[in-house]
Structures are given as C-alpha cells and as structure tokens.
Amino acid sequence: GGLGIDRIGQYAHLFGLGDTSGIALLGEADGFVPTRDWKEQTKGEPWYLGDTYHVSIGQGDLLVTPLQVAMYTSVIANGGTLYQPSLVDRMTDQQGQTIQTIQPVIRQSDFIDPSYLAVVRQGMRQAVTSG
C-alpha cells in the first residue's frame, strides 16, 4: 500500500517541487526531491520505508523553497493547474493605460483528479476552522 517514494517523487515534480519555477529572478534554488538511487550513491545506504515517511511529510532530505510551497498550494487551491510564477501581470504607461498584458504560463495541468484536490481543500479548510 501507499504511494511509495517513486510515485511521491513523480508527483512532487508535477507539483513543481525539486525544479526551478521559471520566474525571472536570478539565483533561484531548485530544491531537491530525494530518490532511492541518490541515497544509495550519496550516502551508501538503501532507501528505507522510514525515509518515505519523512519525505511524505516534508522532512528528511526533501528541500523545497518558499516559492515552491506557494506554487504547490496554488495547484490545490485552483483545482489542478501549476502556473509559472510571474512578478507582473501587465505593464502600464505613465497614464495607467495597459501597454502589455503578460499571459499566464501553464507548466502542468490535468495531472491529478479534481475530486482528490477537493478532498485536500476540504481538509485544509477544516484544519483552520475546526482545529
């Protein structure tokens, strides 16, 4: 049972974890999603079930940036679309007239069943309203 580290890693990347976001900022970190092979090669140890538990709750060798957390959360909130973050949505002239509109860039969509996201949203909502 369970997802296992391989599927967790696959979904982590679909949600934008372990990869740069594409935002137009210098020096963006990409974070890190550990794998079985990485642990074997780097630490000389096999992957244990406990490692999967740690990664599944955001602990262990998993590294994510605050921007990745915001992107991940936005996928849950908007029903399943991962957008490339942007600093602006339009440019205006001195009179406030729009001279260029920046279109959103979709990085991933339709990669998770919306009914699953609805359950997660409900749980997140209940966590802050019911305790």
Identify the domain containing residue 70 by its residue range: 4-129
How do residues 72-127 score in pLDDT, each as one tens digit? 999 999 999 999 999 999 999 999 999 999 999 999 999 999 999 999 999 999 99
Q: Are 91 and 100 in contact (CB under 8 A)?
A: yes
- What is the predicted pLDDT for the residue at 24? 84
End-to-end CA distance of the chain: 29
pTM, full prediction: 0.86
Number of domains present in the structure of the chain: 1
The CATH code of the domain that includes 34 is 3.40.710.10
Neighbours of 110 (CB within 10 A): 9
pLDDT of residue 10 exceeding 70 = yes
